[in-house]
Structure 1
Amino acid sequence: VIQNESIETKQIKTCQHPKHDEYLNQSKNTSKQFSLQKVPTRLIKVLELDELAMICSMCKKKTDKDSQYLQTEEYKAPISRKNNNDNISKIGNHTYLFRKDILYTGEELQQFESDYQEIMTQLKISSEIKLSSKIIKMSNILYNNQHRLNLKPIYDPIAFKTMLETADKDLIGFFDELYAGTNPNTKSETTNNNNKKKLVSLCYFLASINNKYINGIKVDIGSYLETSGASSSSIDTLANIGVSVTRKTVNRKKNFISNEHQQTVDNYCLQNIENMFILNIDDYHNIHRRNQPTLLQTHNIYHFELILD
């Protein structure tokens, strides 16, 4: 039994590296005794050895230079434990540690760092959504709101921004990006608020250029001009430059509103029936000026104004 234990101990104390004999034949001093040590964890899978396997210092050193092992996916280079500031070079945000077998100069490493930063910048740019794609996404949302949901244009900047970001997460920050382009830090709060309203109109105009059927804001402008007494030629001129719709479109919109007026009023009353009140005005005197009580003009608009106040 003692003899068997002695043989087993002797076998354990021999190098178990699969290429030990090959490395030994390549060595100039084949009779030299090399110290044994436990195989490093990083080389266990590479050498396909057991965790308790022992390898000599020569095999460990040659393994880190053997191209057969260096090309495997499991191979991991050793980490130097030296704390020599002369061997450490900081370039940009990265720290490079030199080993004796690295032959790169400082200039080469600076070039590598420059190439790396350029590649990372390109990857970041490619992952961002282009402005044209954001405009298309915004146009699809505004078209759906106008023609499928029958919603009116939204002119409040906060509500408009919330609507876009809720409809498509890719548009989160899109309106803020446009607002940042107005140089808000150098302007007053009043000017910035006005610029936000202008940006809402700009978004609608950009969408109308992408899709001509997104014309809600143009219809509102044309209707306002027509109500203000603008001539047909003036409205058509503004339509030619893309600010308004033509006078014919305004007339069609007016006819549509007229035909749908009864239904619109009914829907409004149903939606606000809890807040509705009915007043019966009869023989109400105009008290906005001195007058005889015998003079009755219940049709005067001042009567309604007073009651609503």
Structure 2
Amino acid sequence: MERRKPSRGKPLFVDEETDQLIHPYNNALSKKQEYWEAMGIYYRYGKWTYKEKEKLYKNWNSYLEKYESAFKNPLDLLDRRRNKDLITLMKLTDFFKVIARSLNRTTDSCYCKLRRDVHSITLKNGIFSEVEMKKLKKLSKKYKNKSCKYQLIADKLGRDRMSVKNKLYRQIKTVKRGNWTLEEEEDLIKAVREVTGLQNMNEIKQLEIPWRKVAQLVPTRQGYQCRKHFFLTKCLKLDENASKLKTWGKEESHRLIDILSNGDYSFETDIDWNEVNQSFVDFSPSASYIQLQFYKLKSGIPDFHRKSFSDLLEEINSSHKH
């Protein structure tokens, strides 16, 4: 299992000619991703920047302005299941190419991101009410043997498929809070090693671990709990050098800002945290720890998610001088 490389050096947006190449829907001359990479054209992956999301929404609105009258409900575009007529119409109107226009992302990535973000606004969010929980239990029994049961239940509840899936998953497990028992920690370490296929802690810490899979092997905990406990607590105990780590302080925060400011990073998504972590081997147990330290720094800046990476670093640097 390899760690996905950051999108360093890959632009947020591409010119019209490249756009036609890398967004192959409804294009008889389309090639696979490997073909374009052989030509030096690479897609961006991972976390979306604020500017990318703005462009995606602009593309979506542009498409709706032009073709909204062709659809009974525009939100149907984000739920194509078994609707051949709708899929055909989407292809004829270049839906996928329009929403991905000028974005250096795959069309599938653009579609999935748009679907998630629009559903987060149009569908119910937050805690399930008592009435919803009763409906959820009834519907889960009704559609128990259906292959698309999560989507069927989500449609009935007016919620996103993943929120329903996660809720049912939590109902199946008896999730605990608070301190971990010795048995739980043993289950966690065994699960991490089984999922990664590695035994050495230093090698494991350099990976992007699929915590949902790990949690499936830990009966009493969820994915985010496993991640937090492993990186901030347990791996310290397992690492023979952990006891030698020094305490992170203001000096290390300043040094982190300097490294990021002088590094070859145009966007935060370009950062290779494992690479940055090599400069803090005496203070940090893992790359995730360094990333957490940076989040603490940037979260103190108002509207930090809207700012360019260079402006954000400048404001962080300025605030820490006072």
TM interval, shorter chain, is under 0.3
Q: Which has the higher strand share?
A: 1
Higher relative contact order (CA 8 A, sep 6+): 2
Larger radius of gyration: 1
TM-score when scaled to structure 2?
A: 0.21
